[in-house]
Amino acid sequence: MKKRLIVFLVILMIFGCDSSTLSLKEIKNVPNSVQEIVDSNLKLQLISDGGKGFYIVFYSKGDIETNLETKGKDLIIKIDETNLDDTVIKQKTFYLTTDAKHDSIDVLVNGISTPFDNITVQ
């Protein structure tokens, strides 16, 4: 609950008057300024880019499928892992833009609500 409150406050600060559209896209080329902040020991991280959107970094031993949904003021990011392999952990990075009407983010990993291990505001 505390992490959801922090995410809510971050979204309010950054997107108070922004009219961005809602989207979640995987990115292959992570900016150096973001990659320097990423901690490979943490499975799920949220990094703001200073006002435009958020980078969501997720580490997995398998393939990833994502889905973005809304439920009232909640933004729900569904991450499903498939083809799990015990040997290789891969970093997947997504870029999230939201609109001002969403005040919390809930990430479901394989159907289980999962808090961010770290939230960074730039």
Q: What is the pLDDT of residue 4?
A: 60
Cβ atoms < 10 Å from Cβ of 15: 22
Q: What is the pLDDT of residue 105?
A: 92
Q: Which helix (H) or strand (E) holds 20?
A: none
Dump pLDDT digits (tens) for 100-117.
Answer: 778 889 999 999 999 999
Report in angstroms the alpha-carbon separations of 53 from 36, 38, 50, 63: 18, 16, 7, 24
**Whole-angstrom Cα distance, residue 103 to residue 121?**
16
pLDDT greater than 90 at residue 43: yes
pLDDT greater than 90 at residue 95: yes
pTM summary value? 0.80
Q: How many domains does the chain have?
A: 1
CB-count burial class (<10 Å; 0-12, 13-18, 19+) for 98:
buried
Q: What is the pLDDT of residue 49?
A: 87
For the ranges 6-20, 30-44, 47-61, 68-82, which has the lowest average pLDDT? 6-20
Q: What is the pLDDT of residue 10?
A: 58
Domain ranges, residue 57: 2-120
Dump pLDDT digits (tens) for 63-89.
Answer: 999 999 999 889 999 999 998 887 889
Residue 1's pLDDT band (cuts 50, 70, 90): low
